[in-house]
Chain A
Amino acid sequence: MESKAGTTETRSNITASDGDQVAALESLQFTDEFHRLILAPPSDNATSLTALLELPASRALELLHSPASAKLIAASASSFEALKGNFLFPSNTTLIDQAARSSVFAGGVNNTNNKSNAPETTSNNATLNLEKAVKSEPAETESCQPLVSDPAVEKRNFKRKDREKKAKGSTKKSKTAANDSSDGPEKLPYVHVRARRGEATDSHSLAERARREKINARMKLLQELVPGCNKISGTALVLDEIINHVQSLQNQVEFLSMRLAAVNPRTDFNLNSIFTTESGSLPDSNFPSMVMPLIWPEVQVNGNKQQHQQQWQFDALQQPVWGREVCNNYITPENSLLSYDSSANSVAEVELFSSNGQWTTNKQRCMQIKLKMEL
C-alpha cells in the first residue's frame, strides 16, 4: 500500500535518525500527503502551492521537535521547490528529483515554526540547526525565503525576521567569542574574523569589517565580469564602469530587439537551422568561419544602401521621434557587425557604447534600416 511505501522511503531517507518512532510516524504521514500532492499535478498551480504550504504548517509543528527531521525536510524541500517552480512554470518533474536545496524549504518551515507552541529552547535549537544548514547558501536563502513566505500569513514574515535577528545576534557573538559554537556540533560557515592588532574588537566594527570584506569580494567579482575594470582602482570609479556597462547592455538588448522587429518581415524562419548554427557557432574556434559569411552579405547590402541614400533622406526626416531615437542608437549593432573581429568583438562594442560620441550618421543609418525592411 502507499503507506507502507511511504514508510520504507522515509526510513531510508532518515539515515542518521535515532529511530524515534514518533518522528518516523509523523514523517510517514507527512510524506504520504506530500507525495499525494506531488503526484497529482493540480490544475491551478497557485492553489496547490498554498495547499502545500498549509500542509507543512500543520505538520512542521510536530516535525521540528526532532532534529532528525532536518533530513526529511531536505527530502521534502526538493519537492517543495518543484512545486514552487510549478507555481510559475509548467510542471517540471525533473525538479522533484533534485535533492539540492534544503535551505529553501528549511527557511520556509522556519517561518511556520514560529507559530508553534514549543518551548523557546527546543524551537530555537531546531531553528538554529536549520539556519546553520541554511546559511551555507546565504544568498539563496535570502533570495528564496521571501518568496517562500509570501503565500503564507504575513505575521510569519515578521516573526521570521525576529528569528533571523536572534540568529544573527548569536552569530555575531560567536564571531567575537572566536569560534565558540555553543549550540550544536555544526559549525557556522561564516567567515570568522579575528581582530587584528590595533583594531577595535567591538562587535559592531567586527560586523562592519566582515560586511566590508564581503562587499570588496563582490566588487572584485564584478570587476572581472565587466571588461576594462581591472585597471581601475577605487570603488566609485569601478561602480561607474559597472553602471555604464549595465546601461550599455540594456541598450544593446533594445536595439537588437528593434533590429529583429525590423528584419522579420522578409525572412522565413526555420527553427532547426537556427539551432544547428547556434550550436555550431559558439565555440571560439569556429567563430571566424561563422563570421566571414556574415560580413560578406552585409557588405553587399551596404553597397546597395549607399545608392539609395538620397532617396530616403526625406523620409528619414519625417520619422516619428521614436524612430529617430532608435536610429540614433542603431549605429552600434551595424558598426559592430561590420567590424566583426573574432577576438575583440564584444569589447569593441562596449567601447562604442560607452564612448557615446558616435551618433553622427543618424539619418544614414535610419535609411539603411528602412532599406533592410524593404528588401
Chain B
Amino acid sequence: MDSQHLNPSSLKSRFTARFLRALIKINAQKPISSSSPREIFQRYRRIKVAADKSMAYSVRSRRTWSRATLWKLRSQSRRRLASSGRRSSIKTRTTTTTTITTTSTNHRAAIVEKTSHEKENKEDHVGLAVQAEELRELVPGGESMDLCNLLDETAHYIKCLTTQVQVMKKIANLYSLE
C-alpha cells in the first residue's frame, strides 16, 4: 500500500505521468487568461480525451476496452484533422491510419465471427440479457464479447476508472490549492 504509487511501473504512476504531461501540454497550448465558456468547453474536451487516452495507454492495449478506447480516440482525432483540412498531418498519419483501420476491422471481424460461433452458449443466464446489454454499452469495446469476458473486462475497467478518478481528484485538489 505504501509503495504502490512509488512503484514506477504501477498503473497509477504510469497514468499519472502521462496525464500530467498531457495537462502541461494542454496548458501550454491555450492562453491562460481565457475564461469564456466556449474555451473552457474545448479545454474540457481535450482534458477528457487526454485522461481517457493516457489511461488507455497505461494499460498498453492488453485489454479489449483499452484497445477499443484507443481506436475510438484515434478515429475521432483523424476525423477532426480531416475536417480541419490539415493535409500534412493526414499524410504522416496515413500509414498508421491504414494499419489501424485494418487492425480494427480485422479485429472486429474476428471477434464477430467468434461470437457467432459461441452464440449457442451465450444464453446461459437468460434473465441477465438486459443488464449484459447495458454493461456492453458502458464498457468500451464490450459489444462483441461473451458474458464471461465482459465481466473480466468490467472488473479491470472499474479498477482503472477508480485509479483515474483518484488521480484526477488529487490533481484538481492541488490545482485549487495553489
Contacts and interface: CB of A to CB of B under 8 A. Distances in A.
A and B associate: yes
Interface of A: 44-47, 49-50, 85, 88-89, 139-140, 142-144, 146-147, 149-151, 154, 157-158, 161, 165, 207-208, 211-212, 214-215, 218-219, 221-222, 225-226, 235-236, 239-240, 242-243, 245-247, 249-250, 252-254, 256-271, 273-275, 277-279, 281-284, 293-294, 297-298, 301, 319-320, 322-323, 326, 333, 336-337, 346, 372-374
B124 A208 contact: yes
Given A89-B57, A249-B165, A256-B169, A267 B43 contact: no
Given A157-B113, A337-B173, A139 B131 contact: no
Contacts of A337: 173
Interface residues of B, number: 84
25 contacts: A47-B95, A142-B149, A146-B107, A149-B110, A154-B106, A157-B113, A214-B148, A218-B151, A218-B155, A221-B151, A236-B127, A249-B165, A253-B48, A253-B52, A257-B168, A263-B172, A263-B176, A274-B171, A277-B174, A281-B170, A282-B4, A283-B2, A293-B177, A323-B37, A373-B40
B107 A372 contact: no
* Dominant secondary structure at the B interface: helix
Interface string B97-109: 0010011001101
A143 B64 contact: yes
B35 A374 contact: yes
The 4 residue pairs across chains A and B that have the minimum distance between CB atoms: A261-B44, A239-B131, A218-B151, A249-B161
Interface of B: 1-2, 4-6, 12, 16, 20, 23-24, 26-27, 32-35, 37, 40-41, 43-44, 46-48, 51-52, 57, 60-64, 67, 70, 95-96, 99, 102-103, 106-107, 109-111, 113-114, 117, 121, 124-125, 127-128, 131-132, 134-135, 138-139, 147-149, 151-152, 154-155, 157-159, 161-162, 164-165, 167-178
A234 B157 CA distance: 22
Contacts of B35: 265, 373-374
Given A147-B107, A261-B47, A242 B135 contact: yes
A270 B34 CA distance: 20
B60 to A, nearest CB: 6
* Dominant secondary structure at the A interface: helix
Contact of A372 (B64, B152, B176): B176
